Structure 1
Amino acid sequence: MRIIQIDDDRTIHIVRSQEEIEELKRSNTELSEFDWHLHGSPGHVESLRKATEHRTRKTEQLRARHPEIFAELDNIQHDLDHLSRELSKFTDRPVELEANFSRFGYAAHIRTHQQRNSTEGGAPEDDNLGQLEKGSEKTPNETSPAPVPETCWIHGRKRKKTRTTMKLYKTPVLRQYFHQGILWRAQHSEEVASFELFIDLLYVGIIAVIGDKATEDPTGLGLLRFCVTFLPSWRIWSDVSDLISRFETDDTYQRGKILFVLVCLLGYTANIVAAFWATYSQLIAFYIAAEVLFTLTYLRMAYLLPHARPIMATISAQFAISAVLWLGSCFVQLRNGRLGLIWVAIGWDIICGSKLPVVLFMKSPLLPRIIKDRMVHLYAYLPAINIEHKTERVGAFVTLVFGYSVVALLYQNQATFGLNA
């Protein structure tokens, strides 16, 4: 609501920013002064309460004047409310958030979808995002009713059945995505899994190894060695986080991929110390193996998610190009320009390692209108990250870093440089 009628004589305008206030002043020149509240502020809430009280009083007055007509209208309204509740199970419901939410890069309106339980074969039932995998003709606006929870009898009482088993394979589902300027998100909150914390713990150990090696040679060459060895490991950690956050595939197949990435990280760590003079090829081989896994994973997602196929294929191509650049650096000697190719590969990983280049290219004013419309049609579905999940992951990672620093202070080590008690 942009305008709230408090009573018969007072009106409140609801704005989202200072720019809207200035625009309201320009569009309503006949109003020299007007009352306004920021959307989501305490004044906005209080105005809604006062407006509710005012209409409640008018309702009671109408009831007193026309009791019979009001009783009939009350019965009709009761039936309409019941029908609306039934209809809401089959339709989408826009959720309006506070104005500050747009500062994180998302629109102020989102829509939620219901994630149905998978069938025994692993394919999800027909729901909002299940149609993305099956490529049905339904639009995301056509959602299915809420799932009925499974129940069982325990000690003579009917209780909800909880599943502790994990499926061997589940059809992937996008957790959240952008479509026509609207962010669609799952209704259920995404929690940090235990294996994600283990990945963070392993990555903290990798940072410790890279940092200890950098302190042994505090020169420009040491900084160069730190950048070359740190950035690829950070890319693997970031790609794993994005993969887990984007797709709902909590099955044995996903855990196997995570285990493969952990093996690649362990092999990468084992070759960090002598990377610049003896084990560079082995170091990059483990990184390329992880990149190939991500390439095949997003190719599989492009096959299983028809609506999001263009962006998934684009992300897969970006991983493939990154693997080719790093593979080429293994066949070039250090004195013959290996560092130049390494920095090109690092720049590609940082700039083109997401859907950002696609979005920037679509927004470019130099792009012809025909090509821009074609790209908007192709990239109608763009995967998004879960802000809450990303915040929890970063918070857990920072906590592990501080914890490792405290442990390094409490226990002695034999390193010449580093944190020694």
Structure 2
Amino acid sequence: MAAITKIDSSELISAQRALFRQPLALQWLEDGRLMKRSEGERQAGKFELFLDLLYVAILANFADNLAEDVSGVNLVKYIASSIFVIKLILTPTWHVWSDLRELMNSFYTDDLAQRVLILWVMALLVIYGNNATLVNEDISAMRATVGAYMVARMSTTTTHLLYSFASYHHRAQQRLWFCLSILGLSIYIPLFVESISLRSKIAVASVGIIVEECIWVFCYAPASKKLLRARYTTAVDIPHEVDRFAAFFIIVLGEFLYSIVVGSPAAIGFNDRLLRAIWTLIIAFCLNWLYLHNDGAVNGVHPLRHSIYAAFSWVVLHLPLVASLLAGGHVAAISARSSELEVGELWLLCGGIGAGLILLYVIALLHKSEDGRGALLLPKPARLIIRPVSGIIIICLPLAHDLGITSTVSIIMALCVLSVIWENITSLMRGAKFWEKWVNTKYPESNEISTQPQLSGSPGG
């Protein structure tokens, strides 16, 4: 890995406060060396977290539309429409979130301009979120959705272009990103035309999403850096990047928890609905545990650090991961207020959570373990094997037609708990103990008194 060189921020950034600050790259690669403007790890800004609040509502709205008008007769249509919602409605919001994440990762100034940009993009997302689920019903909703998305992305890419004049460190790639992004957005123009069929529009949107993903990978991959022959190229603040992805993952897990409390679906007292609500909580808790546990290595290297291919794979896999868990989590949550699930809902529940576990397995494999041979109780493949096995079993649960809703959710919960217990035990170092001996439990004053010499005899003796 390239050596890290710290730059004295006092030499590059004026201490004078200003409403509009010069956007300077926080980190970059210079002739293969990683340069950072200041020391220390930067966490997500408060306004970045405020942006995430809106995504809580947007994702909940999308998920609510997954489970409407389901019957066994139109199962295929239901699953297809669910994929449409997840792929063609969630993905654009993910792209907008990623644009802001990239911008704040590289040029976080927290000045008036950036705060207004966040507010502007959030306003566009409000338009998008209110219309996206109605795009197949009304051309006005389609136009509002596509228009809001295009303006949001043009706003963030234009900001990159403006920043390229203020700081030379990412200039070449920023301008390449701007040009290709505008071309990619032009693919969506046919969606405004009313005479084009919905099926054709779905095809256009699918092509646009794929093209945009390819553009992002190309612009920030080593291939573009070689093509541009740029001395100064992009680099990411890895702790901030990991922190932002983890925040979005937790937002998605919130879909498991929101519907098990709002409206008191599991009241009154102890009942089957309450049991399913608690099981849903445990499932979400275990998924969060598995995500943070990674591969369980004591000495591990994050995919963003050890390989460019692992880094891009880690980022790209988060989109299908959150999409799967969004669908599965919503159905798991509504089981707390339903006496039975329709066939389509059952497949969405098991398919979403099962696919999520398999994707968590693949993401964990991307981490590089540097533990010596035999350092842990079991090697990495054996530690992680329960994830894909549990995922496959969960996906196949709808084939068991005699299982009720409570039994299905209970099995999913048990398999998630099994994965957590298995990985935490097998990730222990050899010779590790289950219980650590408690020491130094007394107050220091008590220890001092007990160690003072005791005098014998009477005071006058």
Normalising by the smaller structure, the TM-score range is 0.5 to 0.7
Question: Sequence identity, in percent?
Answer: 22
Give the distance between the partners of 1:413 and 1:397, measured in 2 at CA: 26
Give the 3 Å change call, closer, same or farther, for CA 208–253 of structure 1 in structure 2: same
Q: Does the CA-based 8 Å contact 1:311-1:355 persist in structure 2?
A: no
Q: Does the CA-based 8 Å contact 2:27-2:237 persist in structure 1?
A: yes
Query: 1:115 matched to which residue of 2?
Result: 9
Q: Which runs of 5+ in 1 are unaligned?
A: 1-106, 117-125, 131-146, 151-162, 364-371
Give the 3 Å change call, closer, same or farther, for CA 328–167 of structure 1 in structure 2: farther
Runs of 4+ in 1 over 4 A off after TM superposition: 354-358
Deviations 1:62-108 (A, max 9, x none): xxxxxxxxxxxxxxxxxxxxxxxxxxxxxxxxxxxxxxxxxxxxx24
Give the distance between the partners of 1:397 and 1:227, measured in 2 at CA: 17
More displaced 10-residue stretch of structure 1: 290-299 or 402-411? 402-411
- Spell out the pairing of 1:30-179 with structure 2 (5 A cutoff): 107-116=1-10, 126-127=11-12, 167-179=18-30
Give the distance between the partners of 1:221 and 1:209, measured in 2 at CA: 15
Q: Which runs of 5+ in 2 are unaligned?
A: 71-77, 266-329, 338-461
Q: Does 1:209 align with 2:61?
A: yes
Query: 2:303 matched to which residue of 1?
Result: none
Structure whose CA Rg is larger: 1
Query: 1:292 matched to which residue of 2?
Result: 154
Query: 2:256 matched to which residue of 1?
Result: 405
Q: Does the CA-based 8 Å contact 2:173-2:225 persist in structure 1?
A: no
Q: Does 1:304 align with 2:155?
A: no
Q: How far apart are residue 200 of structure 1 and its match?
A: 1.6
Give the distance between the partners of 1:175 and 1:355, measured in 2 at CA: 22
Give the distance between the partners of 2:220 and 2:40, measured in 1 at CA: 30
- Spell out the pairing of 1:265-280 with structure 2 (5 A cutoff): 265-278=125-138, 279-280=141-142
Deviations 1:270-326 (A, max 9, x none): 102211221111101110111121232112012222353221111111221232122
Query: 2:115 matched to which residue of 1?
Result: 255
Query: 1:389 matched to which residue of 2?
Result: 240
Give the 3 Å change call, closer, same or farther, for CA 335–406 of structure 1 in structure 2: closer
Q: Does the CA-based 8 Å contact 2:61-2:129 persist in structure 1?
A: yes
Q: Does 1:351 align with 2:214?
A: yes
More displaced 10-residue stretch of structure 1: 345-354 or 264-273? 345-354
Larger fraction in helix: 2
Give the 3 Å change call, closer, same or farther, for CA 172–357 of structure 1 in structure 2: closer
Give the 3 Å change call, closer, same or farther, for CA 108–380 of structure 1 in structure 2: closer
| TM-score normalised by L of structure 2 | 0.52
Deviations 1:123-147 (A, max 9, x none): xxx53xx6xxxxxxxxxxxxxxxx9
Give the distance between the partners of 1:254 and 1:213, measured in 2 at CA: 33
Q: How far apart are residue 234 of structure 1 and its match?
A: 0.6
Give the distance between the partners of 2:7 and 2:213, measured in 1 at CA: 32
Deviations 1:11-57 (A, max 9, x none): xxxxxxxxxxxxxxxxxxxxxxxxxxxxxxxxxxxxxxxxxxxxxxx
SS in 2 for 1:250: coil
Match of 1:225, as an amino acid? V
Q: Does the CA-based 8 Å contact 2:142-2:191 persist in structure 1?
A: no
Give the distance between the partners of 1:277 and 1:381, measured in 2 at CA: 48
Equivalent of 1:246 in 106, 113, 132? 106
Match of 1:342, as an amino acid? A
Q: How large is the RMSD of aligned CA atoms in angstroms?
A: 2.7
How many residues end up aligned between the 2 structures?
A: 259
Give the 3 Å change call, closer, same or farther, for CA 210–413 of structure 1 in structure 2: farther
Give the 3 Å change call, closer, same or farther, for CA 230–167 of structure 1 in structure 2: same
| TM-score normalised by L of structure 1 | 0.56
More displaced 10-residue stretch of structure 1: 276-285 or 346-355? 346-355
Give the distance between the partners of 1:209 and 1:413, measured in 2 at CA: 19
